[in-house]
Structure 1
Amino acid sequence: MQSTTAGVRTARLGPGLTTAVRHAVRPLGCTTFMTAAALLAVALARRGAQRDFLFAFPWAGRDDGPTAMAIGMFVNTLVLRVDLAAAGSWRALLARVRENCLAAYRQADVPFDEVAAALHPGRDLSRPALTPVYLSVEEGRDQPASPAGTTARYLDLDPLHLKYELELVATDLGDDIEVAMTYAVGLFEPATAAMLLDDLVTAARDLAADPDAHPLEETAMSTTAAAEDRSQAGLIESVRRAWADVLDLDSPGQVPVDVNFLEAGGSSLLLIMLWEQLEPLTTRMLRVSDLFEHGTVRRQAALLADDEPAEDLLAGTVLDEEPVATAGASE
C-alpha cells in the first residue's frame, strides 16, 4: 500500500526573474500554468532519461452561464502531456505545451474516472491514476484585515497527506511566483524535493536568458559559480520577504541585510512567526533559537544554506533581549 504521508518545500522566483520569464513567454500567449508545466517537465528531465510526461491538473468546470455562479462541485481532473523529445528550443516547447493545454481544455467535460478506468482497469488503487504528478496554479490571496495595533496574516499549514506522489502548486503573487512542492515522504527525501525546486528555478533562469536555447541544455547562467551565487542571492531575497511580511513592511527593499531582527522591530513572538516562514526553505533542522543566534538577514540566509561558520554565532544578536519562547513550536 502506497503511503500518502506528505512533506512540502517552497521557493520563489523573485520579482526580477518573474518579470523576465513573463517577458519571454508573453509573445507565445502562454499563461502561468503553461509556463509552470514546461518548467516542471524540464526540471524532471534534467534529472533523468524520461522525456515524455503526463501531468494531472484541476479544471473548474464552470465554462457556461448556468454553472458560472452555481453552488456546487464541478471540478474535473484533466491530463496534460508535455513531450520534450522534439523540442529544439524553449519557444518550441512552450508552443507545444500551449497547444496541448488548449486540446485538454476542449475535452474538459470527459469524466476523468471513466478515462482512468478505461486505460487502467486493473490498476493499484493505492497509486494515482494515469500519472503520479499533479500541477496547479493559484492566484495570490489578499492579506486579512488587521485590527488596530495588530498584524494578521494567513497561516499556511503543511499538508499531512497528498493524493499524488509529487504535487507542484505555483502561486501567482503579482510581482513574484511562489512554487510549493508537496511530495510523498515514502518516495522522496526532503533534499530531493529541494533539489527539484532548485532545478525548476534554474530552468526559469535559462528560459529567461535565452528562449531560443535547447531546454535541456543549461546556459552559462548555470555554471557552478553562478549557481552558488544565485542560490545565496535567492535565499537572501526569500529571507527579506519573510522579514517584510512578519514586520508588516510594505516592501522587502525596506529590510536591511545586516541589521539584527530585534533591532529592526522584531520580538520573540515575531521570531516564531519568522521561523514558520523560513523552516520550509531549508533541508536542515531549523529551530527558533537558531534564528535568534543568527540575527541578520545575511546570516539567516547562510544558515538556511547550511554554510554558516560555527564560530561567532552570537554576532549580530542583542543579548539583553528576553529569551525566545519556543514552547509549542513544532520541528
Structure 2
Amino acid sequence: MSSKNPSSSSPRRTSFPVGVNDEGRRADTVLFRLLPHQSASRLQKALREGDIRLNGKKITPATRLAQGMTLEVWTPLLEAAPEPAPSLSLPPDFSSWIVAFSHDLLVLNKPSGVLVHASDRRDGAVPHPTLDTWVKTWLQGKTEPGLSFYPGPLHRLDRLTSGLIVFSVSLNGARTFSAWLAEGLVQKTYLALMEGVFSGTLERQDPLKRDDRTRTSFAGGEKQAKTRFQALGNKNGETLALVNLEGGRTHQIRAHAALAGHPLVGDTKYLSKTRSPGAVSWWLHAWKLVLPDASLGEESYTAAPPAFWSARPWVRELVQSRDF
C-alpha cells in the first residue's frame, strides 16, 4: 500500500506531493480519502478559508490535481486522524496465489473459502483478515505513492468460488480495467462440475432477480443475463463444463446452472444433492481471463483448480490433458 509521504512546510501547514495515482482527481475526492475523520462541511470550510491549498493557492472542491503539484493542509486538520491499521501477517502460501503482478494490476488465484472484501460479510461484521487486507499488506512499498488511491478488487468472486481475481495496483489500472468490464471486453471462463449428464452446449438467458432475504438469485425481474455451459466430459452422473457468461449478475452461474436442471456439485443453496469428501465448497473455478490487449500487463491469464478437485481424478485428468 502506498505511503502519503508528507513533509512539514511550516509549523502550521503540512505538504503532500501529488503523485501519478492522484492525477486528474478532484480535490474533494482526494481530501475525503486523506482526511476521512473530517466531515464534508468541515473540509468545505477549510477550502473556503484557505486552510487547504494547492501550490500555495486557494482551491475549490472541483479543482483537479496534477502530478508534481503540492497539496498543503493546515496541520490541525490532521491531528485527529486515526492511527493506520497494523500490517497483517500473510498466509504462509500467499506467494503461490500470485499469478501476475504489473505496474497496474495484481492477478491472484484465490483459494476457495477466502473472503475477498469485508463488505461481502453477510452479518455485517468485519472479518479479519480478508483477501483485500492481505493484498494491501503485500503491496506495501511496491506501489507508487498516492494521497487518495488504494489498491482494491476490481470485480467480485464468491467466498467459496476459487480462481482468478484482479486487484488494481494503480489508478490507471483501476480505470482501464473497470472501463473494459463496463464495455464487455473482459472475457471470463469458468470450470464447473455440474450434477447430471449432458453433452454439447446448454444456454440460459433467464433474467435474474435478487432475494435479499435468502441471499439467492432466481428467474424474474428485468436484468438480462446469459450463461453458456459447454460440456467437456462426464462420469458417474456428473458433467465438467466450461462456462462463459454475459451480464455478471449476482450468483449468475449458480442460478442458471440450477435453472438448467444441473446445479453445481456441492451448491446446496441452489438445489445440489451432492457432497464430496474433501470438498469445502461448490465446484466452480474462475479458470481463464482474457483482456482486450496487454497494456496493463498480459493479455490472458489462467489458474489451476484447487487441490480438492483431485477428489475427482477424471476431472483433474481432463483439465490437464485437454487444450481448451
With the length of structure 2 as denominator, give the TM-score of the two structures: 0.23
The structure where helix makes up a greater share of residues is 1
Which of the pair has more CA radius of gyration?
A: 2
Higher relative contact order, structure no. (Cα contacts within 8 Å, ≥ 6 residues apart):
1
